[in-house]
Structure 1
Amino acid sequence: MAGRGSVKPFGGFNASDDAAALNKAMKGLGTDEDTILQLLTARSNNQRQEIKATYKTLFGKDLVDDLKSELGGKFETLIVALMTPPIAYDVELVRNAIKGAGTDEKVLVEVLSSRTPQQVRQIIAGYKQEYDDDLEEDVTGDTSGHFKRMLVILLQASRQQGVQEGTIDSDAQTLFAAGEQKYGTDEEQFISILGNRSDAHLRRVFQAYMKLSGYEIEESISRETSGSLKEVLLAVVKCARSVPGYFAEMLYYAMKGAGTDDQTLIRIMASRCEVDMLDIRQEFRRMFATSLHSMIKGDTGGDYRKALLLLCGGDD
């Protein structure tokens, strides 16, 4: 997946020059938002961390605090997200999802379904370091039932490796027997298989399931489960099929219809721009017959839109 991000490290990088340019953009009356957004969207996250450190050395001030005091609204939220190291950003996301008013299950589901096992372990460690709390305990204290069980399995980050040829058909058969074939649903089987098998293995199971049942696994999950459990199982299935496809769909529905879900838009654009944005764009185009670029353009405005379009990196 190397180099599938739309944002790459900047070639002629000089942290002191960038820090000075940002300081100048925020000095005196008025703020030069254009310089800020052009510069920060053209640097990698590692480079932004260097700029932040250099800014403190040169000017004795915290760059993020200065940005917060100069910018506002969604544009500020996006820029602050870009200034946060990726694991720290995820740690903050799950903390706010649990500790805010009510649980933001959507964010928990998105992060735990789409991050690699190694990233999940880093998030758990970062959470402990930042808040001196146990993420699993906080999640279990805030959720219940089958949904809670699935999240706990995802937090173990210990999926089997590779494809177990011998169990592809039996896994498909078990899922069929647990749902479509019986009255009521045996959620435990769905949780156990979808939570513990590798993505590559699951893709094979989904093919076998389709042959066996005549249904895509997504259709059966939608029929057989509901609420938060349905959401997390569908997210895991979609991520097993294609993480960029999962994010393309999330972005589409964040912008489709009345009002834009800016929190989701910011979260995904900020966290995927250096990872797989080129693949997300490709999937978006394939799934929705329009480009991510043109949808962002039609759905946002001002400096916020400019910054998002730069992160998107081009039109397909």
Structure 2
Amino acid sequence: MTWVPPPRPRPPAPAPAPAPVSPRRESRGRLGRLDAKVSPYLYIAPFFLLFLVTGLFPLFYTGWVAMHDWDQIMGKGEFVGMANFVDVLTGRGFWRALANTVSIFLLSSVPQILAALLIAALLDRNLRAKTLWRMGVLLPYVVAPVAVALIFSNLFADRFGLINALLETVGIEPVRWHSDRLASHIAIATMVNFRWTGYNALILLAAMQAVPKDLYEQASIDGASAWRQFWSVTVPMLRPTIIFVIITSTIGGLQIFDEPKMYDQFGRGGADQQWQTLTIYLYELGWTRADFGMASAVAVLLFLVIVVFGIVNFLLTRHIAHDEGKRS
């Protein structure tokens, strides 16, 4: 038997040469890749440019003015560093205005959020003409703040106000709504609640309608009452929206200006500044005393106060959410 050698393996065939790419196609592909990378940033660039011009630049410019002796007539003066902040913090006017602002903020925001949550729960039920009711709670928000302030300042008038007339019919002594500090804070907080409760109620109502109905059916099968369903199902599901409402009401409450400004005919926060807020104090420094440096210092301090309150709100809500998660 003769030996036959195995056949030699053939060398692999050479790969075909790639087809030459035309310069036009190569340029088009490069432009397409560049468009995919750059176009998202171009789409969002108008927002950042607008924020830079109307938000970030005024913030830094206010801080720069706060460190100068800036007069309304003479213009920019010498650099004084932190002297304006020291003058504001060592004066009595800033702390009085801060106390008034916090008092009005607490008297308005806490009842406002609770009332908005209750109204949203009522509007979420099967009511007749529900669209009419939902539009009705938004009507106070449409009314101009100046009109609301003028109407309520007359309702809470010390002598001939309707509120005092109603109190006298039930045997209660008239309240000095413009002279007493706490009474003036309650009156101004009532204006704020009248305007903003319906607006916040619609925000909470939109979040309530996004809650899955299966959760309510499951809770009713387990024997939970309507109140138990609201407290154990609705409120936990609304936590992100409630946090949003709390933060927005905090920012708005600490910047309140229209209602206390129009509460009397002088607009200075009362004869003894008993309801003068930080924004009115800022306005008085800037336009009445023509001291832009101190007014800018108050604006910077107000910004820091809002940041502190926002951080406190965030920490409290996160702590409550963490405790509820551990219990569940």
TM bracket (short chain): under 0.3
Q: Which has the larger radius of gyration?
A: 2
